[in-house]
Amino acid sequence: MVDYHVHTRLCGHARGSVEEYVEAALRQGLREICFTDHIPLPGFGRGLPGLRMNARDTERYFASLERARTAYREITILTGIEADYYEGCEEYLRRFLGRYPLDLVLMSVHFLRGWPEPYWVFDPPPLPVQQLYSEYFAELRKGIQTGLFDSVAHLDLVKLPGAPALRSNAEDVRQVLALCRERGMSLEINTSGARKAIAETYPAPEITALAAREGTALITGSDAHDPDQVGFLFTHLQAFLRELPGARLVGYRGRKAIPARSRATG
C-alpha cells in the first residue's frame, strides 16, 4: 500500500516532522508516502493562520522533502500538495504549481465562496441537504474543469451523518465522477472520515464502488495530521479493494499517473 495524503506540522494544525511521518510509513510497511501539505493561501482572508502553510514556509517544506529523499532510500518519498479549489484561485494556483517540482496535486474543496463567511465546509449554511450537497458538487465540477489538479480528494467531504450523497444526489455524484474520468483525474479514497463522526471513508464505499466499476483510477490516503495516523485503516482498505470489482490503483511521478505495481497491494 501507499499513503498519498499526509500533512506535517508546517500547516499549523498537524503534529510531526517529515522524518516522523516517514518513520511511521516504514513501520507500517508502506512502499511510498506522498506529502500533501495544505498549500499556502496568502490571498484568502488573513491567509488562514493555523489552517494553511505560511507562504514563507513553502521553500522549507520542499527542502525538507528533498532531504528526506536523500536520507531514506528504502521508501519512495513523493512531493505533493493539497491545493484548495475555490472561485478565483486559478491564477495563483497556476503560478504556484508551475514553480515547484510536484509529483501529485490533490484537489480539495474546503471553502465555498458562494457561502457566507467563513465559507467553510464544516460550518455550512442551513440549506436542505440535497441543495447543500448539490452546491458542493457543483464546486467540485468547476474545480475539475480547471485542469489544474491530478486527483479529487475527499469527494463527499460535505456529507452529514445519516444522509448518504448517493441517495440524495446520485446525479451530482455521477456527473462529478464522469468529469473526473474525462479529465484523466483519479479519485482518492481517504480514510480520515473513519476518525470523525461520519465514521466512514471519503467517498462513501458505494461511491468508490461506482467509480471503480466505471473505470476511474484510485489512490489511497490517510489524511494523517499525526504520524500515528499514517496508513490509517489501510489493512481494511486493502481488503475492501481486493474485493472491489474494477478497482484500479495508480501511482504518481511528476504529476503523471502510472500503473500501481499490482492491484490492491500497490
Phi/psi at 16 (5° precision): 105, 150
Per CB under 5 A, which region of 119-127, 178-186, 219-227, 239-247 contacts Zn ion?
219-227
> Is 3 or 223 the residue whose CB approaches Fe ion more closely?
223
Q: Residue 3, interface with Zn ion (CB under 5 A)?
A: no
- Residue 162 has a CB neighbour count (10 Å cut-off) of 7
Q: Which residue is nearest to Zn ion (CB)?
A: 223
Grid cell 501507499 in the structure block, residue: 2
Which one of residues 137, 223, 227, 260 is an interface residue with Fe ion (CB under 5 A)?
223
The mark string for 83-112 relative to Fe ion (x by CB under 5 A, - otherwise) is: -------------------------x----
Among Fe ion, Zn ion, none, residue 229 binds (CB under 5-8 Å by kind): none
Alpha helices in 16-126 (DSSP H): 18-27, 58-71, 90-99
| Helices vs. strands in the chain: H and E counts, helices first | 8, 9
Q: How far is the CB of 213 from Zn ion (least distance, A)?
A: 25
Question: Footprint of Fe ion on residues 27-86 (CB under 5 A)?
Answer: 82
Q: What is residue 40's three-state secondary structure?
A: coil
Q: Give CA separation, 239 vs 113, 233, 265, in Å.
A: 38, 10, 10
Residues that contact Zn ion, how many (by CB under 5 A): 1
Is 223 a binding residue for Zn ion by CB under 5 A? The answer is: yes
